[in-house]
């Protein structure tokens, strides 16, 4: 008998961690296994061309067309910034988001968040607040880079404060890229001014960022980057394996899964067990 809670909130420790890639992969695998699945990304910023957007990739994974865009992504913003800042008319509310994200009978509902687990959606609510309102199971996507242990353990501690179940943590082994320096002081100050006042003399430095999976690889494995090297778990460098081992030591009850780098012949793991 399927579990009563079939709502899964796909989030991450930060933006550009590969949430859409994981959601698309999971969607395709669940459909192939015969499950009834609906994948949505209700809030998206940095939206421009539908076909190449994260929403477009989710539509393609479900064999839907651009005519169905409103059904999966009703809150779309052009500015590539956090939703609470992009939503100048303040159209987002937790009540509206919760009402939109209700699963149908016998359906697995995959809800992809916007940015990281603590990214603000409104002036007073984050993705974690949204997931909490939904009482959804969390699928946390993380990177494998210097600092990921602290970021991941911090995210897990935040999720634990809401007593939300973590269905899995997926370690996404993608290629890192640099990001130009930019200051987030005004946005952080707006959201946390009552709790964490920031000194105007301090300036945010450069933060690690990672290219979107939609720009790195095609969703069809046959069209992935031309790399003939067989990639099995035994070939994973020690630092990747150690990330999982270290996190597993801290949280032995959580399922940690490796998603290897995109290569032409890579065999992607079966994620369906997370939801079934």
> Cβ distance 168 to 274 under 8 Å?
yes
Count of C-beta atoms within a 10 Å radius of residue 6: 20
**Cβ atoms within 10 Å, residue 146:** 10
- Which residue is listed with tokens 């309102």? 133
**264 tagged catalytic:** no
Tell me which of 7, 19, 41, 261 is the catalytic residue.
Answer: 41
What sign does the dihedral 274-114-151-23 (CA atoms) show?
A: positive
Q: For the chain, how many residues are written?
A: 276
Specify which residues 171 forms β-bridges with.
142, 258
> d(Cα 104, Cα 93) in Å, to the nearest integer?
22
Q: Output Rg (C-alpha) for the chain, integer angstroms.
A: 18
CB 128 within 8 A of CB 118: yes
The C-alpha atoms of residue 6 and residue 141 are separated, in whole angstroms, by: 18
Task: Compute CA distances 19 → 55, 113, 183, whole Å.
Answer: 12, 8, 24
Are the beta carbons of 27 and 62 closer than 8 angstroms?
A: yes
d(CA 56, CA 198): 38
In this structure, what DSSP letter does residue 171 have? Answer: E
Tell me which residues are annotated as active site.
Answer: 41
């Amino acid at each position: 008998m399927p579990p009563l809670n079939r709502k899964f909130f796909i989030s991450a420790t930060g933006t550009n961690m590969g949430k859409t890639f994981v959601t698309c992969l999971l969607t395709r695998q669940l459909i192939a296994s015969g499950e009834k699945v609906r994948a949505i990304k209700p809030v998206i910023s940095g939206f421009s061309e539908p076909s190449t957007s994260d929403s477009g990739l989710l539509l393609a994974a479900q064999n839907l067309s651009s005519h169905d865009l409103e059904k999966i992504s009703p809150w779309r913003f052009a500015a590539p910034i956090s939703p609470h800042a992009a939503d100048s008319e303040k159209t987002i509310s937790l009540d509206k988001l919760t009402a939109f994200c209700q699963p149908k009978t016998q359906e697995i509902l995959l809800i992809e968040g916007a940015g990281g687990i603590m990214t603000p959606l409104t002036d007073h609510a984050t993705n974690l607040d949204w997931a909490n309102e939904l009482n959804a199971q969390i699928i946390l996507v993380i990177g494998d880079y210097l600092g990921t242990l602290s970021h991941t353990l911090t995210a897990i501690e935040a999720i634990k404060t809401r007593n939300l179940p973590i269905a899995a943590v997926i370690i996404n082994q993608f290629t890192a890229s640099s990001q130009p320096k930019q200051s987030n002081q005004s946005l952080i100050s707006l959201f946390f001014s009552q709790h964490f006042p920031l000194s105007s003399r301090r300036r945010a430095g450069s933060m690690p960022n990672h290219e979107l999976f939609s720009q790195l690889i095609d969703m069809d494995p046959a069209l992935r980057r031309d790399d003939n090297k067989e990639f099995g778990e035994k070939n994973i460098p020690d630092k990747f394996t150690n990330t999982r081992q270290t996190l597993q030591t801290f949280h032995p009850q959580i399922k940690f899964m490796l998603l290897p780098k995109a290569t032409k012949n890579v065999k992607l793991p079966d994620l369906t067990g997370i939801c079934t």
